[in-house]
Every structure is written in structure tokens, then in C-alpha cells.
Amino acid sequence: MKRKDKFTLLERFYYWEILKGVFLTGSKFIGNLGIYLLKCVGFCKNRSPWITIEYPDDIRPYPPRYRGRHRLTLNEDGEIKCTSCFLCATACPAKCIYIEPEEHPDSSIEKIPRRYEIDTLLCIYCGYCVEACPVDAIRMDTGLHPIIYPADPRLFIEDKEVLLQRSRDIEKQGIDSLRKEHLQNMRALERKTGQR
Ligand code: SF4
Ligand code: SF4
């Protein structure tokens, strides 16, 4: 951003700028209060005076390219698609993907991950892992926010089972089931920490 080098005479009298700010805030406040009062007496039903979204009860619609929490995808047989090629771990700028490969019992498949873990505390949700994967084995299309403040820091590390279960849940119950579960977990956490 280019900074302004010179101020006009009016801007140098900063009282004027303060007055402008007070006027802007005041006009928004009075406008919203007016809409709120009209709504209370049954008018302006389609207008909302506030823009605050009561997350997580309400969410704004996310764009299709929103990068949510990860999941490992499954093939038609319900088995993990990942072939332990390490491309995602290599592309990851945060170095938060840990993979331990093993031989697949079927000799036509070279490898599968014995361990696959993402440390979501380090993850910056850049999506490079998804871009790097040659077999569409990892996605971030869950529409979920990262988990926040779990009671145990180890819960930030999402392992293979957690990542696969997300795909199974989406397949069986649809993407909304993930959001409902996320909401329940957040509510439980709030109750535990006395926020509700
Ligand atoms: S989203 Fe980015 S930081 Fe997170 S695991 Fe993928 S590559 Fe790494
Ligand atoms: S998720 Fe994709 S890129 Fe990462 S190891 Fe598995 S197959 Fe390779």
C-alpha cells in the first residue's frame, strides 16, 4: 500500500478527521437503530440492521474454493487412495505432513501410508498439498474451519483414520453431517470451559 506523503491543510487539523469519523459511525448507528425499530413494529422485514454473523450457529455461504479441513479420499472399493508418494509432504511449506509408507498386500499397488498425519497447528491452509497430489487423494472441500482450542494439544494432529473418516461421513451422510459434528464439538468445548 502506498502511504500518503503529504496531508492537505484540512487533514493537518486532525479535529476535522475526527469529526468525519464520528459522523460516519454515528450515521451508521442511527441508520441501523432506525431499521431495528422499524423491524420491531413489523416493517422492513427483509432488511437486517446488523452484519454480525453468529458463528458457529450461522455461517455465511462459503465459496466453492474455500479451503477447509483436510480429508483423505477413498477409491471405489472404499480403500485409501493415497500411494505414499510424498509429493504433498514435499510441497507443504509448513512441513506439517508426516507419512510413513508400507507395502500394499496387493502387489499391483506399490505403497500405502501406514501413518499419515497432519499437524493442523502448523498448517497454514494454503492448499499446496491438494495441488501437489497426482491421484486426488487429499482434499480440503469439507467446508470446515480448523479446530480451535482442543483440550488436548495432541488433538491438533489429525491422523489417517480421522482424515479417512471425514470422507466416509461425507459419502454416507453428506457434507452437512461434518458441520453438525463440528458444531456439537464446539458446544461441548464451550460448556467445558464455562463459556455457555
Ligand atoms: S494446506 Fe498447506 S500447510 Fe497445510 S498441510 Fe497442506 S500444504 Fe501443508
Ligand atoms: S496424499 Fe497424494 S501427494 Fe500425498 S502422499 Fe498421498 S498420493 Fe502422494
Predicted local distance difference test score (pLDDT) of residue 1? 66
pLDDT of 185 = 80
Residue 43 CA, ligand 2 centroid: distance in Å: 55
The pLDDT value given to residue 94: 97
In the prediction, which pLDDT does 134 show?
A: 96
Ligand nearest to the CA of 129: 1
Low-confidence residues of the chain, pLDDT below 50? Answer: none
pLDDT at 50: 67
List beta partners, residue 115: 100
* End-to-end Cα, the chain, rounded Å: 41
pLDDT at 49: 64
pLDDT score for 87: 98
Ligand 1 atom at shortest distance from the alpha carbon of 97: 5
126 lines ligand 1 (CB under 6 A): yes
Do 59 and 71 meet the contact criterion of CB atoms below 8 Å apart? no
Residue nearest to ligand 1 atom 4, measured at CA: 123
Phi, psi of 74 (to 5 degrees): -115, 155
The predicted model scores a pTM of 0.75
Give residue 89 CA to ligand 1 midpoint distance, Å: 8
Q: Which CA distances in Å does 123 have to 52, 66, 160? A: 27, 15, 16
The residue nearest atom 7 of ligand 1, judged by CA position, is 92
